[in-house]
Structure 1
Amino acid sequence: IYEPEVIGADDFDARHLAFINASLRELEAALAERGGRLITRVGEAVEVIATLHDEIGFEAIHAHQETGNGMTYARDLRVADWARRSGVEVIEHRQHGVTRRLADRDGWARDWQALMSAPQVATPETIETVAGPASDGIEVPESFGLEAGDASHVPMQQGGEARAAEVLRSFLAARGEHYRSDLSSPVSAGEACSRLSPYLAYGNISLRRVYQRTEHRLLAIRRERRGSPWLKSLQAFGGRLRWHCHFMQKLEDEPAIEYRNMNRAFDGLREDEFNETWFQAWQEGLTGYPLVDACMRALRATGWINFRMRAMLVSFASYHLWLHWPRPAAFLARQFLDYEPGIHYSQFQMQSGTTGINAVRIYSPIKQVLDQDPDGVFIREWVPELAGVPAEHIAQPHLMPALLQESAGCVIGRDYPAPIVDHATAYNAARQRIFRARGSFEARTESRRVFVKHGSRRGARSRMRG
């Protein structure tokens, strides 16, 4: 069902619809091969389902168990209410290790392991279908007033089960060997990371399948007993699969974290100081901090950036610019092709320091250049204004002497902006304010509640990682 309310929301973008449509086209062909058909409709979910019920009649609705945003949650409640009144059973199938109505986190990891280790469901060879119901077909973004955007020189990932399978195969066969060492740098992460996230977000591949294929590859590596990076890389990747569901569980347990601070003691910390000019510069990749700008421009063009750089973007907005997180969160949701609400809002709260149970990480946009892109390879690709800047100045081009700026073809203030905030001043002010807030009696009390509800039970470090 193409739902105009969902498609018009502030966390939805044409890139999401394009990925969904590519997935639907492949699904349509796969269903046809098995004697089935895909029916699409445009409209409000309850109205569409009720109309179909009038047309063909049915006794049950099968759907995947979703941990979505507040809008889709409200829609699910409306569908469930209609189903009860109409005598229709709603059966939701778990797709991740997220547990509905979870009493507490004790035993959660054990349950996750059991679910991921269970046998996969086989694809049916034939499908019985009903004749008659009309389909609205595949709807293009323009039908909903969405702008498809400019074509990038690095195309976005395309949806579909076959593409998901190939991405997994290439990761486990070759690309993932240096995952552990290369995942943090934007120079290497595009190749070394799994790149499975959009396929998991839109159901092109199951987390169970990814987990079991990874475990199978790990077993083979252990048998080979080779001294390669594969073992540690795939062990690290397996840990990320667990964290995927861990963060989704947070939104499942407390849907309000989509729009309010997880730790309510931080209410009022940033809300009244939102600088629109800084927010605009951050969105456009014009902050005067080369790696921040390169990451934002790459993300807008490709729909993806690696986790460390995502954390840096959020940290910069939350600490250096002191922006309250909901509007930056909505903007980045539109940019992330792999937007998954449960992960997105949990991570935003964590990286902006509003959980009270996670370590405060204020990323230095200067140090991150030195650590992750010291030669400026990634920066020059995405911020061509800096193409002629020597490597020793790539982290802080505004410090170049005037003559060097001219010879490098990058005059600060003309070709590339000066930093919109001073790093040291902004860093120190943010650090002082966040730790003052964390130290209050209210914050410490609230943090205990947050940990009991959301904290990982996997060892002592969980207090730091949440």
Structure 2
Amino acid sequence: MNTNREEINIVWLKRDLRLQDNEAICNALKSKKRILFLYVFEHSLMDDAHYSERHWNFIKQSLVDMNDDLKALGTKILCVNSEVVTVFNQLLDYYKIDTVFSHQETGLLITYNRDKDFARYCRNNSINWIENNNNGVLRGLLNRDDWFEKWDNYMDAPQITYKIKADKFLKIDKIKNIERSFFVSDLTTKEDSVFQKGGTKMAWRYANGFFETRHKNYMYHISKPTLSRESSSRLSPYIAWGNVSIRQIYQKALTHKTEENKKHLGAFISRLRWQAHFIQKFEMEHTMEEASINKGYHKLKKSVSEVYQEAWRKGQTGFPLVDASMRCLNETGYLNFRMRSLLVSFFTHILWQPWQDATHHLSQQFLDFEPGIHFPQLQMQAAETGINNIRIYNPIKNSLDHDEEAVFIKKWVPELAKLTVAFIHEPYLMTTLDEHFNDFKLGENYPNPIVDGKIARKKASDILFNMRKNPDVISESYRILSKHTLSDRKKMLHTN
């Protein structure tokens, strides 16, 4: 080991893949020590069932985008395949490490345990580790009595600005020397991918297009599976992976908000707050990753059917809008909120499967997978919180209401495209003569419904509404309301 090692600071990038409004970078720049940017493609995370190649490609594109800007400063991000503690052990052969700067990550249990191990490692090696607030989500809260006010104050505060000077960073030749001791990550990705491409520059292309024109139909099209792809912001993956901060988007939205468009941009801004609300909930109660937040529902047992689950994952359930939604998600990584809710409701209510069994497939498909959104939303749509309305989505009604001309279904379930619109929504209504005239055979060209939707909905409704009366569910509902919502929401339980 070199005894004359330079002492440096490290900015450990995780879900904050941007150079602007990044508190970790700002704090690192205040030090007189030179800085090394680091991203670790952790084997344990890459093997975790919640992630898939589409996530890692998005991250790689984000890192390439950052490196493009860092090139002018004569530096780049050290991107390696390993585990975090292993990387730091190897870095200590080259440099002394004074401080590591990163953001507070509200992640999976695996990242929480990783962070505990890393904190122990830092203490044992006399390394400071400073974690910064991320998007207004606060650590260590006991309740939410003044959380909205704190979040608003965070969003209204000036964005973090700093001057980045080239002499503050390790130079590329030094980083290339370090790379000889590591398995360096290959950041190349396919150019012709159908997924949204990662990076801050791409994020602002979507943001500017939304604020300038596309927001005009935001609320009109928000529930439409086809139209929402154009009129929504499409910023969720860029927020999830930190290509932009919510504060940047929040403040940009305010600059565009007028009396004329306040309905649309006001609704968009409120959704930024609710996004943080759900992550805060997960931050305060991480057991939601594996079990229902309302312990009263732990006694709810459902029989697992691999046949049902496989049909759902492949979009072969015999319910056209459900299948179109799943196929679209599998191929593009994006689906609007209502269709996501429909997929979860169908899985947990119509198929009567445990929400935990939907976790991995959906997280792998969502390009914008964010643990703090994922698990609270799964449980809310599965109606296992005890504080939210029970919504059992009717796939046929939603199909008729939101895809009237079956445009979305025709695109993603092309085997139905030649049928009349009425039969596209409900192909099982065809008679033998209808099938003959349409050269179509239900059960061969497209599956029969795998369950009777009406019977399944009634069964789920009866069980779930009855459970709302269970003393354990009610007791837990009070606890959840007290911990995770404003105090006056306790009145809900008395009015439901």
Question: Considering the TM-score relative to the shorter chain, is it more than 0.5?
Answer: yes
Tell me if the contact between 2:63 and 2:199 (Cα under 8 Å) persists in the aligned partners. Answer: yes
Tell me if the contact between 1:23 and 1:161 (Cα under 8 Å) persists in the aligned partners. Answer: yes
CA displacement at 1:119 relative to structure 2 = 1.0
Distance 1:392 1:114 in 2: 51
Matches within 5 A, 1:55-94: 55-94=94-133
Deviation sequence 1:163-205 (CA, Å, 0-9, x none): 0011100000011111011111102110011100000111111
Alignment-derived partner of residue 208 in structure 1: 247
Alignment-derived partner of residue 178 in structure 2: 133
| Closer/same/farther in 2, CA of residues 463 and 332 from structure 1, 3 Å limit | farther
Distance 1:355 1:424 in 2: 24
Distance 1:456 1:359 in 2: 17
Distance 1:34 1:164 in 2: 22
CA displacement at 1:117 relative to structure 2 = 1.0
Deviates more, 1:367-376 or 1:452-461: 452-461
Kindly indicate whether residue 309 of structure 2 is the aligned counterpart of residue 262 of structure 1.
no
Q: Secondary structure at the match of 1:133?
A: helix
Q: Secondary structure at the match of 2:131?
A: strand
Distance 1:13 1:27 in 2: 22
CA displacement at 1:110 relative to structure 2 = 0.2
Amino acid at match of 2:378: F
Matches within 5 A, 1:240-319: 240-271=271-302, 273-319=303-349
CA displacement at 1:383 relative to structure 2 = 0.2
Matches within 5 A, 1:33-432: 33-122=72-161, 124-127=163-166, 128-130=168-170, 131=174, 132-134=177-179, 136-139=183-186, 155-218=194-257, 221-222=258-259, 226=260, 230-271=261-302, 273-432=303-462
CA displacement at 1:455 relative to structure 2 = 2.5
Distance 1:9 1:122 in 2: 35
CA displacement at 1:252 relative to structure 2 = 0.4
Alignment-derived partner of residue 18 in structure 1: 57
Deviation sequence 1:90-135 (CA, Å, 0-9, x none): 1112221211000210000000001111111225342422224226
Q: Secondary structure at the match of 1:319?
A: helix
CA displacement at 1:355 relative to structure 2 = 0.6
Distance 1:348 1:173 in 2: 33
| Closer/same/farther in 2, CA of residues 386 and 357 from structure 1, 3 Å limit | same
Tell me if the contact between 2:349 and 2:460 (Cα under 8 Å) persists in the aligned partners. Answer: yes
CA displacement at 1:139 relative to structure 2 = 3.0
Deviates more, 1:116-125 or 1:274-283: 116-125
Tell me if the contact between 1:278 and 1:321 (Cα under 8 Å) persists in the aligned partners. Answer: yes
Alignment-derived partner of residue 483 in structure 2: 453
| Closer/same/farther in 2, CA of residues 75 and 137 from structure 1, 3 Å limit | same
Distance 1:163 1:123 in 2: 22
CA displacement at 1:308 relative to structure 2 = 0.5
Distance 2:112 2:51 in 1: 15
Tell me if the contact between 2:423 and 2:430 (Cα under 8 Å) persists in the aligned partners. Answer: yes
Q: Which consecutive unaligned segments of at least 5 residues does structure 1 have? A: 143-147
Deviation sequence 1:369-419 (CA, Å, 0-9, x none): 111001100000000010111112222111112222233343210100010
Amino acid at match of 1:95: N
| Closer/same/farther in 2, CA of residues 315 and 54 from structure 1, 3 Å limit | same
Tell me if the contact between 2:41 and 2:185 (Cα under 8 Å) persists in the aligned partners. Answer: no
Identity of aligned residues (%): 37
Distance 1:328 1:363 in 2: 16
Deviates more, 1:385-394 or 1:127-136: 127-136
Distance 1:253 1:11 in 2: 21
Amino acid at match of 2:197: Q
Amino acid at match of 2:178: P
Deviates more, 1:61-70 or 1:118-127: 118-127
Two-structure CA RMSD over aligned residues (Å): 2.0
CA displacement at 1:454 relative to structure 2 = 1.8
Task: Compute the TM-score of the two structures, normalised by the length of structure 2.
Answer: 0.87
Task: Compute the TM-score of the two structures, normalised by the length of structure 1.
Answer: 0.92
Distance 1:439 1:384 in 2: 44
Tell me if the contact between 1:385 and 1:410 (Cα under 8 Å) persists in the aligned partners. Answer: no
Q: Secondary structure at the match of 1:92?
A: strand
Alignment-derived partner of residue 145 in structure 1: none
Amino acid at match of 2:251: Q
CA displacement at 1:35 relative to structure 2 = 2.5
Task: Say how many residue pairs are matched.
Answer: 447
Deviates more, 1:296-305 or 1:390-399: 390-399
Q: Secondary structure at the match of 1:355?
A: coil
Deviates more, 1:294-303 or 1:75-84: 75-84
Distance 1:52 1:358 in 2: 49
